[in-house]
Amino acid sequence: MTNLKLVIVAVIAVATACQICSVHASFSDSTYFYWGADRAYVTGTDSVVLKLLQSGGSGLTSKVSYMYGSISMQIKLVAGNSAGTVTTFYLSSSGPGHDEIDFEFLGNVSGQPYTIHTNIFTNGTGQREQQFKAWFDPADGFHNYTIQWTPYSVVWLVDSVPIRVFRNHHDTQINFPDSQPMKAYASLWNADDWATQGGRIKTDWSLAPFVANFQTYNPNACFCPDPSAVWHCSSYNSANWWTDSSKYYQLTETQYYQM
């Protein structure tokens, strides 16, 4: 095989490996339980139940990695006294120099508002936390949580309302997650050493099992299992909608007002 043919085959292989995900993906065909599978299950309607017992929690992850796009889940958090528990939805690569984009929902004593904890890691470095108090009861029903990841910014959205923006400022030596594909994760675990009032309120195990519900998994994104093919998802073209600077370079005036 000539060198030209080898190049053509390689390009075709990369293009096949990195495509736009179906917006009709489901938990049953697109994710698996990587932790606590005996404490989690998929329901007949393709919703997921994660449980936390004193013996441990549970979690799921996507079968493929993504590089840019919009990834969302509808989540109903632990009801009642959820102090000490943490429910998560996040993106992450692997390894010590990993990238990560977090939604973490910190449990609370009954009647208190949930804390929505956000963070972002680049090349293994985090410490970019921001917290928000939910303006609704996220345990009373399902709400939609979205991570919108483009070459310009990361935006955290709750029911389509942006609550935080992390801009790409590589030109000022601030790292941005633009080189590592990431998988989607969701989990429920115990963190009563810090999660509720700095760890002062502990998990009441007499209330176990704690239950979080997930539905409508929607990865409208570029999946790319091979980091060497990141260029495909980063190419500025009409197929890669997240590269459209006229729409995604900054929030709209309405979005700024909402945030």
The set of residues, in sequence order, having a beta carbon less than 8 Å from that of 197 and lying 6+ positions away, is none
Q: Which positions ≥6 away from 221 have C-beta within 8 Å?
A: 20, 21, 66, 67, 68, 69, 70, 71, 149, 242
* 29-55 burial: b if 16+ Cβ within 10 Å, else e: ebbebebbeebbebeeeebbbbbbeee
Residue 63 and residue 32 in contact, taking contact as beta carbons nearer than 8 Å = yes
- Write down the residue that tokens 């992390």 correspond to: 166
Q: Break the chain down into helix, strand, coil percent, rounded to 5.
A: 20, 40, 40
Q: Is 129 a catalytic residue?
A: no
DSSP lists the bridge partners of residue 121 as 100
Q: What DSSP string runs through 176-194?
A: -S-S--BEEEEEEEE-TTT
Which tokens hold the place of 248? 């995604």
| Tokens 């997930």 sit on residue | 214
Q: To which residue do tokens 């990141």 refer?
A: 230
Active-site annotation holder among 40, 65, 100, 181: 100
The active-site residue, picked from 99, 102, 104, 192, is 104
Catalytic site includes residue 253: no
Sign of CA dihedral 101, 218, 179, 238: negative
| Unique residue bearing structure tokens 């977090």 | 102
Q: Which residues are catalytic?
A: 100, 104
